[in-house]
């Protein structure tokens, strides 16, 4: 899925050769045809909240799959985990390894060697100075002349303002190098409309709009992505899949585990706000029926 001039472009890469190099070559060719800029050089991905539930279950496995498919090159990408937990590099790698089951051991080991860990507070400059030093040291050793920095906030919204202030103060891409700084913030975006607008205003004072990405990781699931193709790229379903022809939608969400360390987060934001108003309702909107819906 590519985004060009505000429009979503869906594509499928087919063929007998499914190697990483082949997929990367196909992607590069398509991007060239669509006149999308291809960037090369040093890329640092910083996962803030690296010791948390979201990072180990979703963010790092997603980065691994991008690496395995050839979209993250070992000579160009550097991944840094940042959190308050006192961990070593190997300690974080061990936590991540447990969630990469079934993957090639050779690929996993190569991927984990790209990951470093920095421990620090979310509201003090000392930790972010260490983080910036880690990033800058890698950029200097890479000798590419570029500085692309992507910050992924796998954190509760309550710490977004303080973390973004620290990023703005200590960790922006240096103007002396070609590159950019981008910040990805996860849902839920505030507790209600007022807090969401306040949070948006606070982040807007620190970054330009094209530097901010607000996402819901659930929409990246393969099943949810397939709904887009099934509905909007299907001539049979497209004219029929609407509220006039669909009686109701039933969405069932089940987990075979408990809160598993997420209790503090759920106590503050609530399981209904976290799951229903974000993940499940947005999945329901993909059906676009505007009719009756049942969520359980």
Tell me the HSE value of 113 on the side-chain side, using a 13 A CA sphere. 9
The burial of 84, by beta-carbon neighbours within 10 Å (0-12 exposed, 13-18 middle, 19 or more buried), is given as middle
Q: How far is CA 171 from the centre of its chain?
A: 19
**Helix (H, G, I), strand (E, B), or coil: what is residue 170?**
helix
Q: pLDDT by residue (tens digit) across 70-126? A: 888 888 899 999 999 999 999 999 999 999 987 888 999 999 999 999 999 999 899
Is 279 annotated in the active site?
Answer: yes
Q: How far is CA 130 from the centre of its chain?
A: 23
More confidently predicted of 15 and 219: 219
- What is the distance between the alpha carbons of residues 197 and 241, in angstroms, rounded to a whole number? 34
How many Cβ atoms sit within 10 Å of the Cβ of residue 134? 19
More confidently predicted of 265 and 81: 81
**Of 18-22, 264-268, 280-284, where does mean pLDDT reach its minimum?**
18-22
State the catalytic residue, choosing from 65, 78, 107, 279: 279
Fold designation for 40-215 = Rossmann fold (3.40.50)
8 Å CB contact between 214 and 182: no
Q: In what order do the strands lie in the sheet with 115-119?
A: 115-119, 77-83, 43-48, 146-153, 178-186, 212-215
pLDDT score recorded for residue 28: 62
E strands, the chain, in order: 2-4, 7-9, 43-48, 77-83, 115-119, 146-153, 178-186, 212-215, 248-251, 292-295
Distant-in-sequence, close-in-space partners of 136: CB < 8 Å, separation ≥ 6 = 174
Q: What separation in angstroms does the CA of 71 have from each of 13, 76, 170?
A: 14, 11, 28
pLDDT bracket for residue 10 (50, 70, 90):
very low
Q: Where in the chain is the domain with CATH 3.40.50.720?
A: 40-215
More confidently predicted of 235 and 39: 235
Q: Which residue has the tokens 């703005």?
A: 168
**Could you tell me the two tokens for 251?**
């969405």
- What is the distance between the alpha carbons of residues 53 and 220, in angstroms, rounded to a whole number? 17
Q: pLDDT by residue (tens digit) across 164-200? A: 999 999 999 987 778 899 999 987 777 788 888 999 9
């Amino acid at each position: 899925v590519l985004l060009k001039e505000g429009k979503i472009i869906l594509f499928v890469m087919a063929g007998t050769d499914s190697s990483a190099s082949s997929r990367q070559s196909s992607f590069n060719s398509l991007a060239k045809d669509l006149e999308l800029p291809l960037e090369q050089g040093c890329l640092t991905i910083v996962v803030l909240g690296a010791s948390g539930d979201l990072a180990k279950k979703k963010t790092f496995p997603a980065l691994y799959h991008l690496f395995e498919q050839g979209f993250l090159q070992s000579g160009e990408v550097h991944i840094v985990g940042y959190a308050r937990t006192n961990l070593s590099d190997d300690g974080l790698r061990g936590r991540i390894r447990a969630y990469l089951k079934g993957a090639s051991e050779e690929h996993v080991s190569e991927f984990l060697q790209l990951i470093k860990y920095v421990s620090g507070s979310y509201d003090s400059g000392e930790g972010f100075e260490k983080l910036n030093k880690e990033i800058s040291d890698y950029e200097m050793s890479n000798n590419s002349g570029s500085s692309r920095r992507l910050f992924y906030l796998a954190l509760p919204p309550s710490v977004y303002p303080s973390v973004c202030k620290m990023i703005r103060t200590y960790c922006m891409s240096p103007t002396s190098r070609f590159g950019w700084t981008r910040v990805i913030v996860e849902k839920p975006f505030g507790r209600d409309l007022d807090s969401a607008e306040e949070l948006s205003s606070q982040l807007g004072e620190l970054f330009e709009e094209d530097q901010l990405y607000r996402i819901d990781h659930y929409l990246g699931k393969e099943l949810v992505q397939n709904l887009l193709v099934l509905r909007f790229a299907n001539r049979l379903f497209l004219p029929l899949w609407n509220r006039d022809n669909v009686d109701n939608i039933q969405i069932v969400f089940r987990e075979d585990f408990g809160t598993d360390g997420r209790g503090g987060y759920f106590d503050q934001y609530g399981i209904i706000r976290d799951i229903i108003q974000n993940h499940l309702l947005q999945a329901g909107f993909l059906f676009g029926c505007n009719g009756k819906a049942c969520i359980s």
